[in-house]
Amino acid sequence: MRDSCLLCCLKHIGQAVVLLLESRQGYPEHVWLAAAHMAEASDEMVADYPKIAAMIRSERLMLMDDPDNYSPRLMTLIRWVARTNRKLEGE
C-alpha cells in the first residue's frame, strides 16, 4: 500500500462537495459520484491516518443509506485533513 496523500484526499472531498451541490440542482445521479469520491478520499488516508479514513467512510455510508436526508459534514473533514497537512509541513 502506498503512503497517504493528504492533498489527494482534499481533492476528492472537495469534488464530493461540488457533486453533492450539483445533485441538489437537478443532477440526482451526482450523489453516487460524490460517494465514489468519498471512497477514494478514505482510501487515500487509510495507510497513515486510519481515524480520518474511518470518519470519511462513516460520512459516505450515511450518504449512501439516506441520500435525500444526508447533511454533509465534508467541510469539517476538509478542515481536519488540511490541519493535518499544515502540521506535517511545519515539521
Domain boundary assignment for the chain: 6-90
3 state DSSP class of 82: helix
Q: Is the pTM of this model over 0.95?
A: no
3 state DSSP class of 68: coil
Contact, 74 vs 41, CB < 8 A? no
Q: How many CB atoms lie within 10 A of CB 9?
A: 27
Q: Give mean pLDDT in consecutive 10-residue pieces for the chain, a chain of 91 residues.
A: 79 93 93 96 91 92 91 82 77 54
